[in-house]
Chains A and B, each alone.
Chain A
Amino acid sequence: MQSRKLGWLLLAPTLIVLFLFGVVPFVYVVYVSFHDWNPFAANPDMVFSGANNFRRAVFDAGFLASLGVTVAFVFFAVLSELVIGYALAQAFMKDFPGKAFFRTIHTLPLIMAPIIVGSIWKLMTTPSIGIIPSLLDSWFGYDMNIGQSAATAFVITVIMDIWHWTPLVTLTLIAALVSLPPDPFEQAQIDGANKRQIFWHITLPMIAPAVVATVFIRLMDALRTVDEVLMLTGGGPGSATRYVGVHIFKEVFPRTNYGYGSAVSVIVLYLTIVVCWLLYVSMLAPRNSKKG
């Protein structure tokens, strides 16, 4: 009994912090989402509006468009990070000269703040002064301008995200690969399995929990991308890179549309949970049920 009390006592600071900075703000956002509230409106007070903000969001072309480009962004960015991250993880599993150096260099983007990443990519992509348009022009005669071309801006934001976050995927997958027992691989080789068969039938199923966890983390991060994109494109050209995080930022902060912005935030949170749940069900649940 004494040790149980001590356990709660030791846990209390963490629980209090979680409650104050996690639960309370979340409940408050849900509360605000049921109100009309813009402090710079003629009536600056909060006015209860039921589910109006949610109804408005469902028919808001701007929000739906931002959701569409976000899905495309998340799909291309996370998938690329997974593929490249796995390839790099496999490469780092082998010994080669300068491995420690390359491994350190490769993780450097991870320690950069998103706003810095956005600034760096802005410098690299600004027409006339950026190294990327300059090289593309001199090598291929390609006139790149992310302020003009929606497709280019979208691709650059995806590449920027890949550059920033692939190291996280690599590190996670290295940890997973290192922990794999050698026996199943040796047995498969003795049985004459080729590399593709080993990957699909042994490696992937065994690192699946790590892959799913990594995808969850990256998915949630990518869905709330704001800083880098805001710095790089401002959400433009037009609305080409106005991802849902940028859309919410613009609704809540400059426009001070607190009620509607909160409703959209709640919807995005709900969608994130649904997507993660679907992923979990499709990738891990069958495996767990087989075990059961």
Chain B
Amino acid sequence: MGYSGKFGASVLALAIAAGGAFAQDLQIGNGDWWQQAGAPFKGVTLRGVTESTPASNFVSDVLAPKFEELTGIRVDVETTSWDQMYDKAIKDMEAGTGIYDMIYIEQDIVYAYMARNFLVDLTTALKDKPALKAANYDEANFTTFANNFRGAEDGNLYGTPMEAFIKVYLYRTDLFGNADVRAAFKEKTGRDLEPAKTHAEYAEIAQFFTQWGKDHDEDLWGTTAQAHTGHPASWYEYFESIAPTFGVYDWGIDAANNYAATVENGGRMNSDEAKEAMKWWLSMRDIAPPESVQSTWTEVATTFAAGRAAQGLVYGENAAWIASDETKSRVVGNVGVALPPLQDGVMADAESGKGYIGYYDGGAFGLPVTSKNQDAALLFLQFMALPEVQEEWAAAASRVTLSSTYDTPKVQALDAELGGYYSMIRDQGRLFKGAPEYPFHAQLREATAPIFYDILTGAIAPDEGLDRMAAKAEEELTSLGYRK
């Protein structure tokens, strides 16, 4: 990348940082209405708990102060680790203590929360209280990702989407475009160096770059791997990002068939495709940077941003800062995005709605029924969904929840910088899918995780391990009462 390119990237990064960092930069329409609507609640403090992510940090650092400035309602958002967030929210709602007025609901837990009637029906609540309805708030503004937070029967919204992104295939454009590298790759493989479309191509590229790093004494490896040997992040990488690209969807569990997981009973958790996926992923893990066996979701992004991997699957919430923030990333301006490599037939499955090609991640802020400040919280949840705040938020945290956000200038500029990441969410987001609609995510994961970690350490062979995991999954689902 030339000087002008770096300068341009720096200017863009500075513009984004300056734009996203200050609440006073947000211009909110109907300021008088917000003042009047907030007046009855002046002095109230809303408490929220969320995972510490770029999107959540924007809520606490930018949106909360702006909302307080407009309405006089203070918003304290506690940003904590992923597991602590769930722990705190669940205990609060289970015990009915009413500490939190807003909780982060990752897409994979919303079905469990709805099954337990933990959440306020926002659609109905706003219909019943028209005085609290903000003019610029409209459920129709949301992208289709909001459907994940709608009730299966009533179609009403149970959370305000605040985070939505896909797990993308990132690659280093400086390496993929380097003439020497391309020539060496062509000589070695007989084909041009382009982002992989199949697993075989991906593996070939990964092996090439890992060897390149060794040969040139560089800290460079061919791929990332979210392969922690004791943290659920690895479990999720396999089941939500790797297995689907081999045609194993919804964790290999057939909900319509009595939640079968084993091939014997009609499930696919231990199918040949699942076993092939596991072996392929482990082979990639083996040529990834050594920290990969301790990497969770965030560390993978850090590894890529440090320039230690030529390609990898990275959560899109990190894409913007990896591509544009020179204070954190060494690959600014050198990031390209592509769809994940796939087995034959998977794209056709995704196009027809039978399957999907990767993980569409995200979350919403929900209002617990135990909250003691529900009306004031309803105001803040609408405030988060105003079109006026979306551009800065999308640029700061690579997330889009409103359709109109794609057309804003900053997002379009960053889209170009990121090689079309935002366009990919808009145009091809439908090919990705969030977690399956199960009310037992953490329970099933924790029941099978010890076996999964043993597969990662090599204590159990992949085939035997997946057989045992599938059997354990059925045992757990029977114990929980979902499998009859």
Q: Are A40 and B440 in contact (CB under 8 A)?
A: yes
Q: Are A126 and B291 in contact (CB under 8 A)?
A: yes
Contact residues of B between 443 and 473, Cβ < 8 Å to A: 443, 445-447, 450, 453-454, 456-457, 459
Which one, B226-234, B312-320, B386-394, B407-415, is touching chain A? B226-234
Q: Are A254 and B86 in contact (CB under 8 A)?
A: yes
Which one, A17-25, A181-189, A232-240, is touching chain B? A232-240
| A242 contact set on B, CB distance < 8 A | 230, 450
Query: Closest A-chain residue to B481, C-beta based?
Result: A42
Answer whether residue A173 sits at the interface, using C-beta atoms and an 8 A cutoff. no
Answer whether residue A41 sits at the interface, using C-beta atoms and an 8 A cutoff. yes
On whether A250 and B454 interact (CB within 8 A), knowing A128-B290, A148-B229, A256-B90, the answer reads no
For this complex, into which size category does the number of interface residues on chain B fall?
A: 35 or more
B312 → A minimal CB distance (Å)? 15
| B289 contact set on A, CB distance < 8 A | 127-128
Answer whether residue A97 sits at the interface, using C-beta atoms and an 8 A cutoff. no
Answer whether residue B219 sits at the interface, using C-beta atoms and an 8 A cutoff. yes
On whether A250 and B446 interact (CB within 8 A), knowing A43-B481, A127-B294, A147-B294, the answer reads yes
Answer whether residue B439 sits at the interface, using C-beta atoms and an 8 A cutoff. yes
> A145 contacts which of B86, B293, B459, B481 (Cβ < 8 Å)?
B293
Answer whether residue B349 sits at the interface, using C-beta atoms and an 8 A cutoff. no
Q: Are A257 and B228 in contact (CB under 8 A)?
A: no
Answer whether residue B427 sits at the interface, using C-beta atoms and an 8 A cutoff. no
A126 CA to B457 CA, complexed, in Å: 17
Q: Are B446 and A255 in contact (CB under 8 A)?
A: yes
A228 → B minimal CB distance (Å)? 13
A148 CA to B282 CA, complexed, in Å: 13
Q: Are B457 and A236 in contact (CB under 8 A)?
A: yes
A141 → B minimal CB distance (Å)? 15
A234 CA to B83 CA, complexed, in Å: 12
Answer whether residue B200 sits at the interface, using C-beta atoms and an 8 A cutoff. no
Contact residues of B between 266 and 323, Cβ < 8 Å to A: 289-294, 308
Query: Closest B-chain residue to A145, C-beta based?
Result: B290
Contact residues of A between 238 and 292, Cβ < 8 Å to B: 238-242, 250-251, 253-257
Q: Are A256 and B443 in contact (CB under 8 A)?
A: yes
Answer whether residue A129 sits at the interface, using C-beta atoms and an 8 A cutoff. yes
For the complex, would chain A's binding face be called helix, strand, loop or mixed by DSSP majority?
loop
Q: Are A237 and B450 in contact (CB under 8 A)?
A: no
Q: Are B443 and A40 in contact (CB under 8 A)?
A: yes
| A50 contact set on B, CB distance < 8 A | none
Q: Are B291 and A127 in contact (CB under 8 A)?
A: yes
Answer whether residue A158 sits at the interface, using C-beta atoms and an 8 A cutoff. no
On whether A41 and B446 interact (CB within 8 A), knowing A238-B453, A238-B456, the answer reads no
| B454 contact set on A, CB distance < 8 A | 238-239
Answer whether residue B44 sits at the interface, using C-beta atoms and an 8 A cutoff. no
For the complex, would chain B's binding face be called helix, strand, loop or mixed by DSSP majority?
helix
| A255 contact set on B, CB distance < 8 A | 442-443, 446-447
On whether A239 and B450 interact (CB within 8 A), knowing A145-B293, A254-B445, the answer reads yes
| B457 contact set on A, CB distance < 8 A | 148, 150, 236-238, 240
Answer whether residue B87 sits at the interface, using C-beta atoms and an 8 A cutoff. yes
Answer whether residue A146 sits at the interface, using C-beta atoms and an 8 A cutoff. yes
Interface size in chain A (residues, C-beta < 8 A)? 36
Answer whether residue A68 sits at the interface, using C-beta atoms and an 8 A cutoff. no
Q: Are B87 and A41 in contact (CB under 8 A)?
A: no
A150 → B minimal CB distance (Å)? 7
Contact residues of B between 59 and 92, Cβ < 8 Å to A: 83, 86-87, 90
A181 CA to B253 CA, complexed, in Å: 72
Q: What 1/0 mask marks residues of chain A from 116 to 151 whose CB sits below 8 Å from any chain B CB? A: 000000100011110000000000000101111010
Answer whether residue A38 sits at the interface, using C-beta atoms and an 8 A cutoff. yes
A128 CA to B220 CA, complexed, in Å: 11
Q: Are A147 and B442 in contact (CB under 8 A)?
A: no
Answer whether residue B94 sits at the interface, using C-beta atoms and an 8 A cutoff. yes
Answer whether residue A205 sits at the interface, using C-beta atoms and an 8 A cutoff. no
| A235 contact set on B, CB distance < 8 A | 230
B451 → A minimal CB distance (Å)? 9
A230 → B minimal CB distance (Å)? 9
A233 → B minimal CB distance (Å)? 5
A121 → B minimal CB distance (Å)? 12
Q: Are A239 and B294 in contact (CB under 8 A)?
A: no
Query: Closest B-chain residue to A246, C-beta based?
Result: B230
Q: Are B443 and A126 in contact (CB under 8 A)?
A: no
| B87 contact set on A, CB distance < 8 A | 253-254
A136 → B minimal CB distance (Å)? 13
| A257 contact set on B, CB distance < 8 A | 443
A224 CA to B83 CA, complexed, in Å: 19
B321 → A minimal CB distance (Å)? 19
Answer whether residue B112 sits at the interface, using C-beta atoms and an 8 A cutoff. yes
Answer whether residue B116 sits at the interface, using C-beta atoms and an 8 A cutoff. yes
Answer whether residue B480 sits at the interface, using C-beta atoms and an 8 A cutoff. yes
Q: Are A234 and B230 in contact (CB under 8 A)?
A: yes
A262 → B minimal CB distance (Å)? 14
> B230 contacts which of A40, A143, A233, A251 (Cβ < 8 Å)?
A233
A235 CA to B232 CA, complexed, in Å: 11
| B479 contact set on A, CB distance < 8 A | 41
Query: Closest A-chain residue to B452, C-beta based?
Result: A238
Answer whether residue A44 sits at the interface, using C-beta atoms and an 8 A cutoff. yes
| B33 contact set on A, CB distance < 8 A | none
A128 CA to B480 CA, complexed, in Å: 42
Q: Are B480 and A41 in contact (CB under 8 A)?
A: yes
Answer whether residue B7 sits at the interface, using C-beta atoms and an 8 A cutoff. no
A69 → B minimal CB distance (Å)? 13
Contact residues of A between 166 and 222, Cβ < 8 Å to B: none
Known: A40-B442, A253-B87. 19 other contacts (CB 8 A): A38-B480, A40-B440, A40-B443, A40-B480, A41-B481, A42-B480, A42-B481, A42-B482, A62-B450, A128-B289, A147-B228, A234-B228, A234-B230, A234-B231, A238-B229, A238-B450, A253-B83, A254-B83, A254-B442
- 13 contacts across the A-B interface (CB closer than 8 A): A40-B443, A42-B481, A127-B294, A128-B308, A145-B290, A146-B294, A234-B230, A234-B231, A238-B459, A240-B457, A254-B83, A254-B87, A254-B442
